[in-house]
Copies of this chain bind each other. A is one copy, B any other.
Amino acid sequence: MNPVKIIDVKESIFADNNADADRLRSELKSTDSYLVNVMSSPGSGKTTTLLGIIKELRDKLTIGVMEADIDSDVDAYTISNVGIEAIQIHTGGMCHLDADMTRQGLHEFSEPKQLVFLENVGNLVCPAEFDTGANLKMAILSIPEGDDKPLKYPLMFECVDLVVINKIDTIDYFDFKVDQCIENIHKMNPTATVLTISAKNHTGIKELADYLYAKVEAYHG
């Protein structure tokens, strides 16, 4: 197995997380790093989706991944084993990351990356409340979870730039109406981009990677 750096993050020393998140965005800009905060329920397919994006973009951009977990290192090894630098962040029971915890992770990379993914703790509630300093916020919702989830976890779907509907290959098995789900999302977040994928079958991943690549290109100017 490829090596993975594992760090235990400490609680932030900054009282004002929003101000610290802005400060982190300035720091990221100074190293030309674009940070994407990836949020979802447990088991929505965050890591598999990242593997697909990496496949599409690894020849165009330098990429790093930070895996936030309460415990376990399995996702960081999965990423590291395809040759992408991965940092495992252990939150010590905490249900989300703030900007300073994200900074602690970023400092562990051997060198700045053009595109960094932060795979947040699997949780549709708490991570939505904390600005991690990311340039883009992305939520993944998988078909087995149900098309009503945007209504039940509104803050998550209100705060993100991009919603990825994953496991579309299982649509025949579950009672999930994609149009209704997109309507639910747009009711509370009219400008959100919604993309439909199957990370397992690589369906829709090129479109997702193209979307992210355009964002990174615009950021790097």
State whether A144 touches B170 (Cβ < 8 A): yes
Residues in B neighbouring A121, C-beta threshold 8 A: 125
Residues in B neighbouring A124, C-beta threshold 8 A: 42, 122-123
Known: A123-B123, A124-B123, A125-B95. A42 touches B153 (CB 8 A): yes
Tell me the smallest distance from the CB of A163 to a CB of chain B, in Å. Answer: 14
Tell me the smallest distance from the CB of A221 to a CB of chain B, in Å. Answer: 37
Identical copies of this chain, number: 2
Is A217 on the interface with B (CB-CB < 8 A)? no
Residues in B neighbouring A148, C-beta threshold 8 A: 72, 74
Count class of interface residues, chain A: 20 to 34
Residue with the greatest number of chain B CB neighbours at <10 A, chosen from A43, A74, A152, A173: A43
Is A61 on the interface with B (CB-CB < 8 A)? no
Residues in B neighbouring A167, C-beta threshold 8 A: 144
Is A149 on the interface with B (CB-CB < 8 A)? yes
Is A112 on the interface with B (CB-CB < 8 A)? no
Q: A41-B41, A43-B145, A144-B170 are in contact. List 15 more A-B contacts (CB 8 A).
A: A42-B145, A43-B144, A43-B149, A70-B153, A70-B154, A72-B152, A93-B155, A95-B95, A122-B124, A123-B124, A123-B126, A125-B126, A144-B144, A144-B167, A170-B170
